[in-house]
Structure 1
Amino acid sequence: MITQLPVASRAEVRAAALRDLAADRRAVIGVVLVNGLASASGLVGPLLLGRIIDTIQAGSGDVLGAVDRLAFGALLFTVVQMVLSWWALKLGYRYGERTAARVRERFLRRTLALPPRVADHLPAGDLIARGSNDASLVASTLRAAVPEVLVAVVHALFLIVAVLVLDPRLGLCGLVCLVGVAGAVRWYLRRARPAYLAVAATGAEIADAVASTAKGARTVELLGLEERRTQVAERAIGRARSARLDALWLRTVLFPSSEIALALPVVGVLLVGGALYGNDLVSLGTVVTAALYLRQLVGPLDTLMLWIEQLQGAGASYARVEGVGDVPAADAQVVQRVRDERIRVENAHFSYTGERDVLRGIELSVQPGERLAIVGTSGAGKSTLARLLAGLDRPHTGAVTIGGTAVAELAPEQLREHVVLITQDHHVFHDTIRDNLLIAKPTATDDELRAALEAVGAGWLEELPRGLDSAVGDDVTLDDAGAQQLSLARVVLADPHTVILDEATSLLDPRTARRTERSLASVLHGRTVIAIAHRLQTAHDADRIAVMEAGRLVELGTHDELVRAGSTYGRLWQTWHTT
């Protein structure tokens, strides 16, 4: 079992980010170009203000007219900068929305592409956290970070170049004073990635604790495990709190030091510029312009500092989302040749942990069209055997085959044509009835979809306002029986020759269970049926009964044969029948 999902490396995250940028390169180029024009327009205002100061100081000619013209030019270019900046942000946010959608779709495709026996062993809480919290953080960051960071970077570069061109001495002074910012960022980045990965991992641990407790709520209540599960949740919360405090400490060092460092370039230029002006080496307008440029530089650098912090959390989430692509997949599967519909289990052993076998030496043969019931006490290994027969797990030793081919080696599409496992867990997507059914057979026609629903007794289809186009959750709300009928209709469409039933109606109320069992009867007609029997009446009606005890198959025969033998099944039947 995979106990920890992989996390993508820095190189993999960079490669993914570059792919996302390249996928919409026209938008990225547009953002850079438009923002470049906006930044260039923003440089004109301080330059003209410096000219105004020098013109007033010179005091020759039509000073008032010259000042008016320079002021009008500064106003005009300020308006142009505002319009271009708005346009650049608009382009950037549109790019961010498209990229966020690509990230979510890529995560979903990778998750759905995992073979069932791989996906079934992934830590559910971690996977949920990556698909919800992490994907949402990546999406929101891409929507905002790309336009704002690009705007800030381009604007900062233009300002630095402008002050260097204006006066190299003042420009170098300003850059030297920015060394403190670079030092603070370098210190922070060396420590940020592991800290934010820990924050994300502990958040996933909380999600896993909550999900597992909710899923096993009945077991927790029956066995009195409330205190233990509370302790598990509290330990997860404690670790999450500690991780978040560690990340917060990094921020408390980064932001104060950067705020001080960002003020130094303006102070340095004013001091050096004052000295140069006092020695008639530079004009007052040049000093003011350089100071204004460096003062403007605080804005984009402050934005970058904020995003540096936020990008660490987003980068950790990006690494977790991309890490799903590194989950070891099952061996490549090709269409196998299946000779017939006979199922055989030969000397099968299986263990979930590798330490203790849950199944030991199972030998079983199921003939086409046979109805086989598997009975035994709780923990005997019935559901585990059902998982092996359905191809969700592979025996550690021995074999489980259909027509001579290992069940676990069948590609998912081919496996679905042979064996389907039906449990009490069924999922109905928030989509149309049609799309909920096409999952089982994408090429099915509307007539085939209606026939499948009719076969399982889903008469409610005719009452829906838009028929197959009715959306679950909007046009119709399905009760447990209706949702199970929808799931059974998928089985009809998949048309497997073998159906495995594991507690298919155990969680339904008696009336709903009777309706569902009538639907099941129509689905099971003419197929091989392997039923995990929790009620001995179900076993009584089967062609043969397999009795399991402590992971072993201890009895196999018809109801009458096993009752006459008076062994494990005979005692169970006698106790149940007497009661």
Structure 2
Amino acid sequence: MTGLPVADRATTRRSSRDLLRGERTAVLTVLLLQAAAAAAALAAPRLLGAIVDDVISGAAMARIDRLALAIAVCTLVQGVLLRYGYLVGYRLGERAVARLRERFVRRALDLPTAVVERAGTGDLANRSSVDVSQVGTTVRDVVPILLIAASQVVLLIGAVFLIHPVLGLVALAGLPSILGVTRWYLRRASPAYLAEGAAAADLTEALTTTAEGARTVEAFRLSGERVTSGTVRVKRQWATRRATLALRSVFYPVVEASYAVPIAVVLVAGGALARRGAVSIGDVVAAALLLQQAIEPLDRVLQFIEQAQRGVASYARVLGVGFGVPEQRGVAPAPGDERIEVRGARFAYANGHDVLHGIDLDLRPGERLAIVGPSGAGKSTLARLLAGNEAPHHGAVTLGGVPVAEIDPAERRRLVALVTQEHHVFIGTLRDNLSFAAPDATDGDMLRALVSVGADWYATLPDGLDTPLGEGAAHQLGPADAQQLALARIVLADPHTLILDEATAALDPTTARRTERALAAVLGGRTVIAIAHRLNTARDADRVAVLADGRITELGTHDELVDAGGAYAALWRSWHG
């Protein structure tokens, strides 16, 4: 299984700038408020140093009280400025995260079905939950704090330089070790966190598929194999987490040890300068306090650099959804008519042998074609090619002379609809579930669509079209009802070509027959291609194509094929006992 791609660094940086484009005023406001708060914070150490000097010189208590009051006022001003700085920063972050989520949803919905299936639901689910959440935390919390803390560190160190240049220089004594270990860490962190994210997605995929196929696992006694598979993935994820932990176990101790060095050096150098009268004891105390005060924002900078690495890695994975998938909107011309033609189509899934071998087929507009054949013959694959979900690696599948897979996805879904035996009931009302197919449909349109597919169960719903459905709702639809709901969506979508890939498989034979006849009546005049597992469907079709080993072995009407005495005739006799 091939995971979704990951955006490169250049794309990540460019997209980061785009994400904050239009927010320059908010960014500038945050920086100004935090710079003002940092400036207010500088006053306290300076005033405290002045108090020390006044105490040594025997100044009046009234002056000391005034200085103490000034410290309190500066602290209050700093708190107010910080409060509003964080408020503006969080609002900025929330807007950016909202845009990111909207962009992610658009990208995910634009992904071709084949891409999602090859990547696996675990990868996409992990990116839509864990990675988007991590990016949200980074944009909302980490980035503002990094900007704030970095500006505070710069101002605090600058204040030490203003006290005396020598003290400012020696205050940088711990910087080489911090810069060195940070550079070492950053070179290794991004690939390590990308590997951790990929391992987490792989584990999610394994657990999801095991849970969804629990009955199959139990029936075929595959529990041991699935446990082994899960254990391998857990070990892989644990190994990637140990790798990131190993980086942190070097990074943090070196940084913590570097904090004490500047304060100690400033005290020693400050004492020497004070003996020569270059600075006062109060200046030395103020410089030491400024450096002590710088530890907290510096610690936040380094701590959130680690979180920022997680955020950047997650952002690259989020951007990777849709990355590398060609966006050829409007490149292919509109189909000239509704005729579907297949010429020499061959297809193979990734790294596999051909599933279809030189398929040739013409479908007349309004024709009903049934495709029958044994399991594994390639019926569903042919349906995917006809719907444009996959493109043949050789030959062509065209609609009105245009390759189906190259038609704009939105336009293609409007023209050709593929309904499989897999169905989904979205969280929302019955009206919500139907309006996905036709947002402008009236209540009357929706009720007529339900009636047309035999979904008479809607009349028993407590709130009619406003009845909540989906996971967690009080009313749950069974598989047969959910499949009829999917068919009602197709009636509302009103495509000119409908491909039914065993779309009534979840229905009992009587209900399936009634539903298929109702659909035939509603979709009269439209092209209908049915992958038939019940031969009654084939008997009602205009033509029947028999597929075996990826090839069309017979093609004709039901009566013609029965009279021919071939494979279809044998299937028909077997069906009727």
Q: TM-score, normalised by structure 2?
A: 0.92
State whether residues 372 and 546 of structure 2, in contact with CA within 8 Å, keep that contact through their aligned partners in structure 1.
Answer: yes
Q: Does 1:396 align with 2:385?
A: no
Deviations 1:139-171 (A, max 9, x none): 122221133222211211111111111111111
The one-letter amino acid paired with 1:53 is: V
Decide which moves more: 247-256 or 11-20: 11-20
Is the partner of 2:359 in helix, strand or coil? strand
Q: Which residue of 2 aligns with 1:257?
A: 254
- Say if 2:569 is the partner of 1:570: yes
CA separation of 1:522 and 1:211: change in aligned 2, threshold 3 A: farther
Q: For the Cα contact (< 8 Å) 1:368–1:528, is it kept in 2?
A: yes
Task: Determine the C-alpha separation between the residues in 1 that align with 2:410 and 2:322.
Answer: 21
1:58 Cα deviation (Å)? 1.0
CA shift, 1:403, in A, is 3.4
Moved more, 553-562 or 151-160: 553-562
Q: How far apart in 1 are the matches of 2:414 and 2:176?
A: 66
* Residue 44 of structure 2: aligned partner: 45
Q: Within 5 Å, which residues of 2 pair with 1:349-368?
A: 349-353=346-350, 355-368=352-365
Structure 1's 381 and 569: CA in aligned 2 closer, same or farther, altered over 3 A?
Answer: same
Amino acid at match of 2:41: G
Query: Retained in 1: the 8 A contact 2:270–2:279?
Result: yes
Task: Give distance in 1, aligned partners of 2:511 and 2:367.
Answer: 27
Which shows bigger deviation, 207-216 or 162-171?
A: 207-216
Q: Residue in 2 aligned with 1:541?
A: 540
Listed one character per residue, the Cα deviations across residues 256-285 of structure 1 (whole Å, up to 9, x for unaligned) are: 111110111111111111222233322100
Residues 493-517 of structure 1: CA deviation (Å, up to 9, x unaligned): 2212221111212235668757755
Q: State yes or no: 1:161 paired with 2:158.
A: yes
Q: How does 1:258-407 map to 2 (within 5 A)?
A: 258-329=255-326, 331-334=328-331, 336-353=333-350, 355-407=352-404
1:92 aligns with 2:89: yes
After superposing the two structures, state which structure 1 stretch, 505-514 or 42-51, moved more: 505-514
Tell me, what secondary structure is at the counterpart of 2:20?
helix
Residue deviations 1:61-81, cap 9 Å, x none? xx1111111111111111111
**Larger displacement relative to structure 2 (298-307 or 564-573):** 564-573
1:195 aligns with 2:225: no
| CA pair 376-219 structure 1, distance change in 2 beyond 3 A | farther
8 Å contact 1:488–1:523 — kept in the other structure? no
Q: Percent of counterpart pairs with the same letter?
A: 52
**Pairing of 1:125-204 with structure 2 (within 5 A):** 125-204=122-201
Give, in angstroms, the shift of residue 336 of structure 1: 3.5
Q: Contact 2:483 / 2:506 at 8 angstroms: preserved in 1?
A: no
1:555 maps to 2:558: no
Q: Residue 19 of structure 1 corresponds to which residue in structure 2?
A: 18
Answer whether contact 2:110 2:322 (CA < 8 A) is retained. Answer: no
**Pair 441,177 (structure 1): closer, same or farther in 2 beyond 3 Å:** same
Assess if the C-alpha contact under 8 Å between 1:348 and 1:400 holds in 2: yes
Is the CA contact 1:501–1:531 (under 8 Å) kept in the aligned structure 2? yes
Offset at residue 227 of structure 1 (A): 3.4
Superposed CA offset, 1:92-126 (max 9, x none): 22222221111111111122233445445444322
* 1:316 to partner: Cα distance: 0.6
| Amino acid in structure 2 at the alignment position of 1:58 | S
Which amino acid in 1 is paired with 2:240?
A: A
Counterpart-to-counterpart distance in 1, 2:269 and 2:522: 88
Q: Which amino acid aligns with 2:90?
A: Y
- The answer to whether the 8 A contact 1:335-1:414 is kept is no
**Superposed displacement of residue 476, structure 1:** 5.8
- Write the letter of the residue equivalent to 1:555: E
Conserved? CA contact 2:334–2:407, under 8 Å: no
- What CA distance in whole angstroms lies between the structure 2 residues aligned with 1:349 and 1:564? 30
Letter in 1 for 2:182: V
Amino acid at match of 2:50: R
3-state SS, counterpart of residue 176 of structure 1? coil
* Maintained 8 Å contact 1:465/1:475: no
1:422-460 Cα distance to aligned partner (Å, 9 max, x none)? 112223333454454443334445554454344445556
Contact 1:5 1:327 in 2 (8 A): no
1:504-547 deviations in Å (ceiling 9; x for gaps): 12235668757755764554444332211112333233333221
Matched AA of 2:25: R
Distance in 2 between residues matched to 1:224 and 1:462, nearest whole Å: 43
Q: CA deviation at 1:214?
A: 4.4
Which is worse superposed, 407-416 or 265-274?
407-416
Moved more, 467-476 or 66-75: 467-476
Aligned to 1:345, what secondary structure does the other structure show? strand
- Partner of 2:69: helix, strand, or coil? helix
Aligned residue for 2:376, secondary structure, equals coil
Deviation at 1:363, TM superposition (A): 2.2
Counting matched residue pairs gives 575
In structure 2, relative to structure 1, the CA distance for the partners of 1:419 and 1:4 (3 Å cut) is same
Question: Over residues 7-26 of structure 1, what are the superposed CA-to-partner deviations in whole Å (9 max), with x where a residue is unaligned?
Answer: 22222222222222333222
Task: Decide which moves more: 79-88 or 48-57.
Answer: 79-88
Matches within 5 A, 1:397-546: 397-445=394-442, 447-458=444-455, 471-473=468-470, 477-508=476-507, 517=516, 520-546=519-545
Question: Does the residue aligned with 1:23 lie in a helix, a strand or coil?
Answer: coil
Output the aligned Cα RMSD: 2.7
Residues 335 and 410 in structure 1, CA contact (< 8 A), matched pair in contact too: yes
Query: If the length of structure 1 is used for normalisation, what is the TM-score?
Result: 0.91
User: What does the per-residue CA deviation read over 1:470-503, in whole Å, with 9 as the maximum and x for residues that have no partner?
Assistant: 6544686544344334322321222122211112
Equivalent-residue separation in structure 1 for 2:290 and 2:486 (angstroms)? 66
Change (3 A) 1:417 1:198: closer
> How far did 1:465 drift?
7.2
Shift of 1:135: 0.8
Cα distance between partner residues in 2 of 1:567 and 1:101: 61
CA distance in 2, matches of 1:34, 1:511: 72
- 2:109 alignment partner, one of 109, 112, 115: 112
**161 and 206 in structure 1: CA distance in 2 versus 1, 3 angstrom threshold:** same
Q: For residue 234 of structure 2, what is the aligned residue in structure 1?
A: 237
**Partner residue, 1:248:** 245
What is the rounded CA distance, in whole Å, between the counterparts of 2:515 and 2:307 in structure 1? 51
Q: Contact 1:481/1:516 (CA < 8 Å) preserved in 2?
A: no
Secondary structure of 1:428's counterpart equals coil
Q: Is the 8 A contact 2:480 2:506 kept in 1?
A: no
Contact 2:425 2:482 survives alignment (8 Å): yes
Q: Counterpart amino acid of 1:125?
A: G
Structure 2 alignment gaps of length 5 or more: none
